[in-house]
Copies of this chain bind each other. A is one copy, B any other.
Amino acid sequence: MDNRPIGIFDSGVGGLAVVKYIKKLLPNEDIVYLGDTARVPYGTRSRNIIEKYSIQDIKFLLSKSVKFVIAACGTASSILYGGYENNFSFHYSGIIKPTCDIAIKLSIKKKIGIIGTSATIKINKYQEYIKKYDKNINIYSQDCPLFVPLIENRFIEPRNKITSLMVEKYLEDMRGKIDTLILGCTHYPIIKSHIEDYFGKDINIVDSGFETAKFVENYLKKNNMNNYTKKIGEVFYYITDDKDSFGKTGSIFLDEDIFKNISVIDLDIF
């Protein structure tokens, strides 16, 4: 057993989806969450910058003695996938592998759509993973750079007209072509209802946050790394800009007041 907390990071509020699922699947675990809100979004930035930010995020989490690091961010996961993560000396998961494994299982027609930030789609790691598994799977990918700003600014209520139009704009080339869609950014499940409305019920939508939480649940169990000392774990939130916006969106999303557990930190020293 291992009583240390699980570390989770994202550029902003998207990774809170993973927090939500981990709390449900592993209620006894403590969590240290880092949202790099002063530098959100990551997905419109270049490879070098995202690499630098992601490594700083991880160093911060390791300074908090976490037992497992989750990159709960499609963009950071893509940057770290392969080369970087193979050399990590700590327990780690991004969202690429858990998400793709499920999508591959679900896609009967071997036609998978992938949506993500511009960086994620450009770096191409989801696509590489799936092609390596089965080169006969057809992949349709599309970057959706405005989804994260829309979500961070709470254009999220069901049937919001602007969000629906944005979904149509980004996804129209995929409609009718795929049977499975990967939400390759942890922000996107927050507007899942808009995506379902657009596609109808006839496709599988794979939520990268949920699949990653499931993967971590199995990993801890298999490696005897669970925390058995607590019934209800605590969550400590660290962010890099002020508490107001993150606290509001996070409290709505997690359905509890998280303000008291938020600390503001400076990542420049990491």
Chain A residues packing against B (C-beta within 8 Å) = 38-39, 44-49, 145-146, 149-150, 152-153, 155, 161-162, 165-166, 169, 240-242, 244-245, 268
List the B side residues contacting A242 at CB < 8 Å. 46-49
List 7 tightest A-B contacts by C-beta distance, closest first. A46-B242, A149-B149, A46-B241, A38-B49, A145-B153, A162-B165, A45-B241
In the bound complex, what is the Cα–Cα distance between A169 and B166 (angstroms)? 15
Report 5 cross-chain contacts, Cβ distance below 8 Å, ordered by A residue.
Answer: A38-B39, A146-B149, A146-B150, A146-B153, A162-B169
**Among candidates B49, B150, B244, B245, residue contacting A241 with C-beta atoms closer than 8 Å:** B49
Indicate how many identical chains form the complex: 2
Closest beta carbon of chain B to A101's beta carbon, Å = 32
List the B side residues contacting A153 at CB < 8 Å. 44, 145-146
In the bound complex, what is the Cα–Cα distance between A268 and B266 (angstroms)? 13
In the bound complex, what is the Cα–Cα distance between A152 and B153 (angstroms)? 16
Closest beta carbon of chain B to A133's beta carbon, Å = 31
List the B side residues contacting A49 at CB < 8 Å. 38, 240-242
List the B side residues contacting A145 at CB < 8 Å. 149, 153
Closest beta carbon of chain B to A50's beta carbon, Å = 10
Residue of B at shortest CB range from A152? B44
Residue of B at shortest CB range from A150? B146
Residue of B at shortest CB range from A40? B44
List the B side residues contacting A241 at CB < 8 Å. 45-46, 49
Across the interface, do B44 and A245 meet the contact criterion of CB distance under 8 Å?
yes
Q: Kindly list 12 other residue pairs between chains A and B, CB separation below 8 angstroms, not including A145-B149, A162-B169.
A: A38-B39, A38-B46, A38-B49, A39-B39, A44-B152, A44-B153, A46-B242, A48-B242, A145-B153, A162-B162, A162-B165, A165-B165
In the bound complex, what is the Cα–Cα distance between A166 and B241 (angstroms)? 26
Closest beta carbon of chain B to A120's beta carbon, Å = 15
Closest beta carbon of chain B to A167's beta carbon, Å = 11
In the bound complex, what is the Cα–Cα distance between A103 and B47 (angstroms)? 43
Closest beta carbon of chain B to A60's beta carbon, Å = 16
List the B side residues contacting A169 at CB < 8 Å. 162
Closest beta carbon of chain B to A163's beta carbon, Å = 10
Closest beta carbon of chain B to A46's beta carbon, Å = 4
Residue of B at shortest CB range from A39? B39
List the B side residues contacting A245 at CB < 8 Å. 44
Closest beta carbon of chain B to A13's beta carbon, Å = 12
List the B side residues contacting A47 at CB < 8 Å. 242
In the bound complex, what is the Cα–Cα distance between A244 and B122 (angstroms)? 13
